[in-house]
Amino acid sequence: MKINDPERYFESLRKLERNVYMLGEMCANTVDHPVIRPSTNAVAETYNVGDEPEAEELLFAKSHLSGNKISRFTHIHQNTDDLIKKVLMLRLLGRRTATCFQRCGGMDGLNALYSVTCECDHDGGSSYHKRLKDYISYVQEENLVVDAAMTDVKGDRSLRPGDQSDPDMFLHIVDRSSEGIVVRGAKAHQTGALSSHEILVVPTTAMRESEDDYAVAFAVPANTDGITFIAGRQPSDTRKMENSPLDAGNPMYGSQEALIIFDDVFVPAERVFLALKHEYCGRLVDRFAAFHRQSYGGCKVGVGDVMIGAAQLVSNYQGTAKVSHVRDKITEMIHLNETMFCCGVACGARGEATSGGGYMVDVLLANTCKLNVTRFPFEIARLLQDIAGGLVVTMPSQKDFENPETAPYLEKYLKGTNSVPTIDRIKILKFIENMTVGCGAAAYLTESMHGAGSPQAQRIMISRLVDLDEKVKLAKRIALID
Ligand code: SF4
Ligand code: FE
């Protein structure tokens, strides 16, 4: 593993000269930009062994390709134990960062492509699987961060990719030769795009025969010619530029999205993992989505652990910890959080071997997991706001706590229990503000809703996967109906 600690990771990103825009300006160095740095810090934790006793076993795996020790984020799952350890790893990192650490999309995308390329080669004599394995070996040895770019901008939602008035609304092949392909389009909502060395592109939906140009999967370095990143905004993001960690709420960690534009980008043939094969897009999308829907049963649970800790802490600081309805609400938060975790673990435990030697999660349970995640973090956040009180959104700024004219008033009038310094109460309330209405909510709430697919996508999969006739037969048998 060439990049084997956070410092080397930061250095590797500094050297990657990418075309990035942020707040209307070119941003040559994203690593040291105050708005983006917390997001890079979160990814850097995936390179940090840390001090949790279980971290080493969770963060690393043995490559089935080289036999070497590798980051689990670059691993192809070999058994159900790997699938469960993935969830445990994501919970651990959610607990450390209280945000999205962005590296799971690449892991999930490579695992989905692993079985699909094997099936494609088996059916039609292509050599995508071998190319993919070479690429995975490279990613494992260098220990790179791979952003899996799936979501196209989609234009008019009532129209298919091939029917859009502007064909670039879905990323597609515009030219090809024996050397490679040229692609054009854009991928939206790319959390982690600015923290990644590589961009792995996969289709956003199943394609039809007439849409073969849209049936494309490939990987390119993030600094490839023709790629432009435009960073997204989040509520309260520029607080990170004010040099006031108190107001940032989670001053160390965050997550950053970007729109990635591919303006006639050349992809060499050895980096193309699927092209002009519409019939493989549906299964690729379903498998990638299932892997990532399982992931949410780990990462958001880890963040939930911090939310529950914040609920207990703020009640201790405000003198409400023994009130029965507060205790009930914290128990409810724990119940919701552990329910998501049960789903994440369960779809790993019921995983199965795939062609090519990988392992796949239980798809029905993965969709059930993610459907819960579209709701429970919102309820956890609601309960946390309920417990914390209205001060969450009425607190003065760090500068007011530092101004000698106002500081004594704030120290006196914003005090909670006597034994706790006022500033500690404010620190945890600022964290709660960040996580429920500030930029932390982008990762904890909006991402829970739409990341890995919006709730309706999971409902469609659940209804497609369940055999309702079989359940009807069960009911008739029990009720003695012929
Ligand atoms: Fe990983 Fe969770 Fe972020 Fe997805 S939302 S990239 S699973 S931390
Ligand atoms: Fe996500």
The answer to whether residue 257 is catalytic is: yes
Q: pLDDT category, 453, cuts 50, 70, 90?
A: very high
* Same domain (yes/no): 238, 349: no
Options 9, 80, 104, 436, the catalytic residue:
104
196 CB less than 6 Å from ligand 1? Answer: no
Question: Strands, DSSP E only, in 256-405?
Answer: 258-268, 272-275, 352-353, 359-360
For residue 355, name the pLDDT band (cuts at 50, 70, 90).
confident
Q: How confident is the model at residue 1 (pLDDT cuts 50, 70, 90)?
A: confident
Q: Which of 435, 444, 450 is nearest to 370 (CA)?
A: 450
Residue 433 structural domain = 284-478
Mark whether 263 and 321 lie in a shared domain: no
Does ligand 1 have an atom closer than 6 angstroms to the CB of 344? no
In this model, does residue 125 exceed pLDDT 90?
no
* Strand pairing report for 198-201 and 69-71: unpaired
Measured from the CA of 192, which atom of ligand 1 is nearest? 6
Tell whether 183 and 310 lie within a shared domain.
no
Is the pLDDT at 112 greater than 90? The verdict is: yes
Q: Is residue 457 part of a domain?
A: yes
Greatest Cα pair distance in the chain? 83
pLDDT of residue 216: 98
Domain end call among 280, 303, 322: 280
Q: What is the DSSP string of 64-130?
A: TTT--EEEGGGPPP-SHHHHHHHHHHHHHHHHHHSS----HHHHHHHHHHHHHHHHHHHHH---HHH
Tokens of 135: 């690429």
Neighbours of ion ligand 2 (CB under 5 A): 447, 451
pLDDT of residue 25: 96
User: Would you say the CB of residue 288 lies under 6 angstroms from ligand 1?
Assistant: no
Query: Is there a single domain that holds both residue 263 and residue 363?
Result: no
Which two tokens mark 174?
A: 């515009």
| pLDDT tens-digit series, residues 156-201 | 999 999 999 999 999 999 999 999 999 999 999 999 999 999 999 9
Res 28: pLDDT: 86
Distance separating alpha carbons of residues 389 and 373, to the nearest angstrom: 24
Question: How much is the average pLDDT of 313-342?
Answer: 98
Ligand having the closest approach to the CA of 99 = 1
Residue 288 has pLDDT above 90, yes or no: yes
Tell me, yes or no, whether 294 and 268 share the same domain. no
Q: Which long-range contacts (CB under 8 A, 24 or more apart) does 380-383 make?
A: 380/304, 380/307, 380/308, 380/333, 380/336, 380/337, 381/307, 381/435, 381/436, 381/441, 381/444, 381/445, 383/311, 383/329, 383/330, 383/332, 383/333
What distance in angstroms lies between residue 478's CA and the mean position of ligand 2's atoms? 43
| CA distances in angstroms from 254 to 21, 170, 192, 475, listed in the order given | 18, 29, 10, 49
Which residues, in sequence order, are bridge partners of residue 69? 62
Q: Which atom of ligand 1 is nearest to the CA of 103?
A: 6
Are 214 and 312 found together in one domain? no
The answer to whether 299 is a known catalytic residue is yes
- CATH code of the domain covering residue 219: 2.40.110.10
Q: Which residue has a Cα nearest atom 1 of ligand 1?
A: 104
Of the candidates 83, 78, 73, 120, the one whose C-alpha atom is nearest the C-alpha of residue 363 is: 83
| C-beta of 296 in contact with ligand 1 (< 6 A) | yes
Asked if the structure places residue 347 within a domain, the reply is yes
Whether residue 305 is found in the same domain as residue 425: yes
Domain count, the chain: 2
Judgement on whether residues 268 and 194 belong to the same structural domain of the protein: yes
What's the CA gap between 416 and 382, in Å, rounded? 21
What is the structure's pLDDT at 463?
Answer: 97
Whether 2 maps to a domain, the answer reads no
Same domain, 297 and 419: yes
Predicted TM-score (pTM) of the model is 0.97
CB 52 within 8 A of CB 38: no
Q: Is the minimum distance from the CB of 444 to ligand 1 under 6 angstroms?
A: no
Of 280, 302, 334, the domain-final residue: 280
Q: What is the mean pLDDT of the chain?
A: 97
Residues 148 and 228 in one domain: yes
Kindly report, residue by residue over 46-87, the tens digit of the pLDDT. 999 999 999 999 999 999 999 999 999 999 999 999 999 999
The reply to whether 324 falls in a domain is yes
Closest ligand 1 atom to the C-alpha of 299?
2
- Phi and psi torsions of 174, nearest 5°: -110, -15
Q: Which pLDDT band, with edges at 50, 70 and 90, does 356 fall under?
A: confident
Q: How far apart are CA 377 and CA 299, in angstroms?
A: 11
On whether both 257 and 215 belong to a single domain, the answer is: yes
For residues 445-474, average pLDDT: 97
Residue 94 has pLDDT above 80, yes or no: yes
The mean per-residue pLDDT over the stretch 297-316 comes to 98
- Given 212, 246, 280, the domain boundary residue is 280
Q: The domain that contains 310 carries what CATH number?
A: 1.20.140.10
The number of beta carbons lying within 10 Å of the beta carbon of residue 267 is: 23
Q: What is the mean pLDDT of residues 28-40?
A: 95
d(CA 218, CA 37): 28
Q: Flag whether pLDDT at 126 surpasses 80.
A: yes
Based on the domain organization, do 263 and 386 belong to the same domain?
Answer: no
**Does residue 1 lie in a domain region?**
no
Within 232-387, strands assigned E span 258-268, 272-275, 352-353, 359-360
pLDDT digits (tens, 9 = 90+) for 3-17: 999 999 999 999 999
Q: How does 315-331 read in b/e, with b if 16+ C-beta sit within 10 Å? A: bbbbebbeeeebeebbe
Per residue in 290-301, pLDDT (tens digit) is: 999 999 999 999
Domain membership of residue 22 (yes or no) is: yes
Mutate which of 72, 86, 90, 445 to test ligand 1's pocket (most atoms within 8 Å of Cβ)?
90
Atom 6 (ligand 1) nearest CA: 102
Q: How many other β-carbons are positioned within 10 Å of the β-carbon of residue 132?
A: 25
